[in-house]
Structure 1
Amino acid sequence: MNLFFDKTKMIEPENALKDNAAHTYHLCQHDIFKTALNYQSEQHEVIYFAMGCYWGAERLFWQTKGVSNTAVGFAGGITAYPTYEQTCTGKTGHTETVKVTFNPQIVSVNELLTIFWENHDPSQGMRQGNDIGTVYRSAIFCNNQQLKLALASQQSFAKKLKDIGHAQITTEIETDFIFYFAQPEHQQYLAKLPDGYCALRGIFK
């Protein structure tokens, strides 16, 4: 056992925690929309954002007009079906992630990307504010059609940061990923506990 494991360093696959058994958290009911967490109509799309602690990030998106479903979970790592407690150790390789289901006729991918960039600091590497570790790194997980828009928005926002003398963006943008739902008690956490922890802060705020 490595007693001096650095949570700001990505875990090597051979050292990651072992996979867990599959679960059915995706069938839980959304506290706001009253649908299953994995509900999606044919007219809707999905994109995934990691921007620090997922509690505040999820609330930000469920309050966005045109978003029809949200869920918190984990992506970008190694361990299958990780728990929140396991992910917090940094030994799964995952980052806290929000699944955002939306109606593109009401809110566009570009509008969601703007919300993402403007509501956290995408230049902090393996942390977000006082939340430190790979589990809090900034990332966008998207499909191949969304990738071009995500890369263009990153370039545009990077210029804005450069203009104010800010550090370079460290956000990962990936199309090859698996999203795992977090435990039910973490879903819509700030609807259950409105005064709960939320560290969401934008660079321009």
Structure 2
Amino acid sequence: MRTLLSFMAISADGHHADTDRGLAWQTFGQEFADYSVEQLDEVDTLVFGRTTYTELAAYWTGDLGADFDPRIADRMNALAKLVVSRTLDTVSWGTSPAKLVTIDELAEFKHTPGKNMAVLGSSTLTAALLRAGLVDELRLMVNPIILGNGLKLFAESGTVPLELIRVRPFESGNVLLYYRPTP
């Protein structure tokens, strides 16, 4: 069975975006780019909600993504995509396969052969997947900043007990927390 991991970048006070959905406060750099490549090499399928899918498809298929890091752009553009959306009719991402699915279909897909799957961003989808018991590992990249306000992560997830399984500090001050949801 495939493992479904979810990666989210958050502020120290638990926001995944500022009040304008902006992400300029996130700390990036070479160490984070290298980690992103490592993480993408663990998976063969990316899972998105509608908003993140739309934003990332435009970014990574354009010049901005290639200019940021061509290694990441190549992987983002080559991996298969599953998009959970009730409002989109079709999905496409360059030449890589992309498919609309429901949460139930995603649960079935976990039982097919293949490498891990990763949800990148997609906070609303991650909360729904946590409620459905489909997330096997939650990776939270805590950025060294307090936003004071913004879009709160997991505002709609309900109570989900977590077990800390690993911690990875970054020279930038970011700290990556690896959690496993527990029953």
TM-score, structure 2 as length reference: 0.32
Choose between structure 1 and 2 for higher RCO, CA contacts under 8 A separated by at least 6 residues: 2
> Which has the larger Rg?
1
Compare the two structures and name the one with the higher strand fraction. Answer: 2
